[in-house]
Chain A
Amino acid sequence: MILHNIELVDFRQFKGRQAIDCATGSPHNVSVIYGENGRGKTGIFRALMFCLYGDRSLSQDELSGEQKKEGLSLINEVTLKENIGSQVEAQVAISFSHQRKNFRIVRRVDGLMKTDGTIIQNPGGRVELQQTDENGNTQPVETDLEKITGQIQEILNSRLRDYFLFDGERIERLTRNTRERREEVRRGIRALLDLDALELANAGLKSLISQIEKEIGHKSTGELQRVYTHIDALNTKIDDLENAQELGTQELKRLEHKIYEISEMVSENEDTAAKERKRQELIKNSQDLKVEKDALKKEMVGYLNKSAQLVASQLIEQLREELEFRRHKGELPPSIRKEFVEKLLEQERCICGTSLGHDHQQERECLQEFLVKHYTPGLGSESLDLLLSLNRLSSANEGLANQFNRLLVKNKKLRDEIADLESKIKLLSDELKEGGTSVDDLIQERSRLEDDKRTLEREMDRQADEIARAQDDREDWLKRTNVLEKQQSQVDSLVARRDLTKETLAELKAIYDRFANEAKERLAEKSTEIFTRLADEGTQKDIKKISIDESYMLDVLNWTGQRRLGEISAGQRQIVSLSFIMALIQVAGNLEVALFMDTPFGRLSGVHRDHLLDTIPKMASQWILLATDTEFTEVEANALRQTNAWGKIYELVKEGEGITQIVEREVHQFTPKRKSIF
C-alpha cells in the first residue's frame, strides 16, 4: 500500500476540507508532517486508522466508560458549535495504490452538538471504496461495509498494520524486555511471515482429517461386502436352478419325444392295436366280472349263518314226515282243540253256529265220536306244535335252498365267464408277444415315461417358483446394494479426501519447519545487518547480533553471545526495533507498504537519527514521518535533504482554538524552527 493523498473534512482539529499529498515516487518517497505538540500529528495518524479500519480510538488513548465504547469524538468541535442542533459530517478520504491498482476510500461519521454542549456522535458510519485497475478502468463504488473491510484486510491486514503504522512510543515499546512485548514481537514475526496463517492452515487440515475420518467411521460398516456375498450366493443359486431348468427342459423334450415314439409304435400296427384294444376290453370285462363275483361272494357269505339250518333240513323233513304219518293215523291230536269241541257239545252248537237240537243227533254223535277218537291219551298237543314248527321250517328251508342254489349257480357262471375271459386275454397276450415288442410293455413304458414327465414338470414348476423367489430376493438385495454402494462411493470419496488432506498437511508441516527456520535465520541476519547500518559505534560494541530464538522471541546478544535485551537503553531499543521492522519488510517480501511513523526520533541520538534518515528511505517503499519540532530540527532536515528522498513537507499550524491548518511547505526552502536539541 502506497499512500497518495489524505483528505480531511471537519475531522478532529482539521476544520473544513484539508489535504495532504504524500511523496510517492522514487527517489522522493519521504513525506514529513511537521508540528509542535498538540498540533494534530496524532490526529493525522488517527484519520488514517479511522478511514482504513473504522477505528475510533487508538491503543494509546486512555479512554474510560462510555468513551471507551463509543470512541473519541471525531467531528471538529468548532464546526459542531457553529451548527448546534444540526447534523454535521466529518470525513476522511484516502487515495492509495496497491499492486498497480488505485483505490479511494472515504469514511464518514456524523453527529451533532446539543445546546448544552453535549456531542452526540452517530455510532454507525458510511464507507465507500472505489477501485481503478492498471488500465484505468474504474469499478463501481463499493458501499458494502463487509466487502470493503475484506478488501482492506487483503491489502494491509489489520494484524500487520501495527508494524507499519505506528508511533515512536510504540517503536520503543516493541523491544522492551517484558513478556507482553516479546509476545507482540513473536506475533509480529509470525504474522508478517504468514507463520500464523500456516499454523491455522495446518490446524484446519488436521481438523478436516479428523472430521473426514469420523465420517468414514460412520459410513463404512462392511455391510456392502456382506450384501455382495449374499447376492453372489443368490446368483449361484439362480444359475444352478436355471441350469437345472435347462436340463429339465431338455429331459422333458426327450420324454415327450420318447412318448411320441412309443405312441407311434403302438398305433403303427392296427391289428396289434385292435388286439390290444380287445385285450384291454377283455381285461376290463374280466375285472368287472371279478368285481361282480366279489359282490356275489359277499352275498353268499351272508347266507352262511343259515347253513346249519340247511344242513339239518333232511332230519327236519324226516321228523315232520313221521309226525304227519302219525297224525294221519290219528295218533296226533287234531289241530282243533279238545276244549273247543267239548264246548260246542255242551252248548249244542255246530262249529258253523247252527244249534244241535234233537234234529241233529247225528252231528252230536259225530262230535262225541271225534272226541273219543282223537283225544285219547297218546302223543300230546306238544307233538302237534312240533309238527307245526317243523312244517314252517320245512317250508323255509325250501326257499333258502333255492336261493342258495341260485347264488351258487350264478357264482359258477361268473367263474366260468372269468375263466373264459382270462383264457381269451392270455391268448391275445400271447399273440401280441409273438408279434414282437410287447405293446403292453410299450404302453407300460409310455406310462412310466408319462409319470416321469409329470414328476419332472412338477419339479420344474418348483424350480421356477424357487427361481422367481430368488430373483425377487436378489432384486431386494440389489436395491439395498444401490444404497450401500452410494454410501461406499461416499466412503471412497472420503478416503481420497482424507489422503489428499493428509498429504497436504505433511507437505505444509515440512514447509512450515523449513520456512520458519529459514525465515528466522534470515530475519535475525537482516535485523543485525540493518542494525549495524543504523547503530552508532558505541551501540555496535554493546550489541553484536540481533537474534530470534525458537519461539520467535527477539533478543540482542553482546560480544560474548550473552542476551542483553533487558540491559540496553531506550534509544538502543528503538534502533533495534526499527532494524527489526525494516528486516521484517525485507524478509517478508511483497510488502509494498508505507511506513507511517509518528515521532520516531524522540529517544534517538544524533548519529542514530542520521543513520535512520539515510537508511529508511532506501529500504521502505514510502516513509511518512510525523515529527515534532524538537526531533526534526535543521540537522535532521538537512540530513534528509541530502538523501534526495524527501518529497513533501507539511506543517501543522494552529489557527485558533480547536483548529489546525495543514500547510504545505517547500522541501528545499523549509526551515525547522529549531536548529537542534543536541
Chain B
Amino acid sequence: MRDKVTIESILGQINDPAVRIIAEHSLRVARKALNMSEYSRKRFVVEEIDKIMPRALKVRANHDTT
C-alpha cells in the first residue's frame, strides 16, 4: 500500500493545464494565508488567485488553439 498521499500528486494529474495552474496556485496561496489572521486570509487568497488568472487564461487560449 502506498503510504504517502500528497495533494500535489493529485493536482498534478489534472488534465486541463489552466485549471491545474489555478488549482496549484490556489493551494499554494491558501497555505501561505493560513499563517495570516482569519480576517485577511480569504481576501489574500482571492487576490492572489485573481493575479494568476491572466496566465491561466493565456495557457487556456494557447491550449484551445492547439
* Residues of A participating in the B interface, judged by any CB pair closer than 8 Å: 150, 153, 157-159, 191, 193-194, 196-205, 207-208, 211, 493, 496-497, 500-501, 503-504, 507-508, 511, 514-515, 518-519, 522, 525-526, 586-590
Contact = CB atoms under 8 A, between A and B. Distances in A.
5 contacts: A194-B7, A197-B31, A200-B41, A204-B26, A204-B42
A522 B41 CA distance: 30
Contact of B45 (A204, A511, A588): A204
B5 A197 contact: no
Interface in B1-51: 1, 3-8, 10-11, 14, 16, 18-19, 22-23, 26-27, 29-35, 41-42, 45-46, 48-50
Indicate the member of A158, A200, A588 with the most B CB atoms within 10 Å: A200
Contacts of B14: 507
Contact of A500 (B8, B19, B29, B35): B19
Q: 6 shortest A-B CB distances, which residue pairs? A: A589-B4, A204-B45, A201-B26, A201-B30, A200-B30, A504-B22
B1 A525 contact: yes
Nearest to A497: B53
Contacts of A519: 5
Nearest to A494: B53
A201 B27 contact: yes
B26 A205 contact: yes
Contacts of B50: 208, 497
A158 B46 CA distance: 22
B46 A208 contact: yes
Given A201-B45, A526-B3, 13 more contacts: A157-B31, A159-B34, A201-B26, A204-B33, A204-B46, A205-B22, A205-B49, A208-B46, A493-B57, A504-B19, A514-B10, A525-B1, A587-B3
Given A157-B35, A200-B34, A207-B42, A501 B5 contact: no
A204 B4 contact: no
B56 A500 contact: yes
B17 to A, nearest CB: 11
B5 A522 contact: yes
Contacts of A202: 26
A511 B9 CA distance: 11
A10 B4 CA distance: 42
Contacts of A194: 6-7, 27, 31
Interface centre among B10, B18, B31, B48 (most CB of A within 10 A): B31
A257 B51 CA distance: 71
Interface residues of B, number: 35
Contacts of B41: 200
A589 B11 contact: no
A590 B4 contact: yes
Contacts of B6: 194, 588-590
Contact of A157 (B3, B10, B34, B60): B34
Contacts of A199: 30
B23 A197 contact: no
A194 B57 CA distance: 26
A469 to B, nearest CB: 42
A205, A504, A589: most-surrounded residue (chain B CB, <10 A): A504
B7 A198 contact: yes
B4 A588 contact: yes
B34 A508 contact: no
A242 B2 CA distance: 78
Give the one of A158, A159, A199, A201 with max B CB within 10 A. Answer: A201
A197 B18 CA distance: 20
Contacts of B49: 204-205, 208, 501
Given A501-B22, A503-B16, A200 B33 contact: yes
B16 to A, nearest CB: 7
B46 A207 contact: yes
A197 B19 contact: no
B46 A515 contact: no
A203 B23 CA distance: 12
Contacts of A196: 34
Interface centre among B22, B32, B50 (most CB of A within 10 A): B22
A496 B53 CA distance: 10
A587 B33 CA distance: 23
Given A153-B35, A515-B10, A508 B5 contact: no
Contacts of A589: 3-6
A662 B8 CA distance: 42
Nearest to B7: A194
A457 to B, nearest CB: 56
Nearest to A502: B19
Given A504-B22, A504-B23, A507-B19, A515 B35 contact: no
A184 B11 CA distance: 27
Given A207-B42, A522-B5, A197 B56 contact: no
B64 to A, nearest CB: 11
Contact of A504 (B26, B32, B45): B26
B53 to A, nearest CB: 5
Contacts of A211: 46
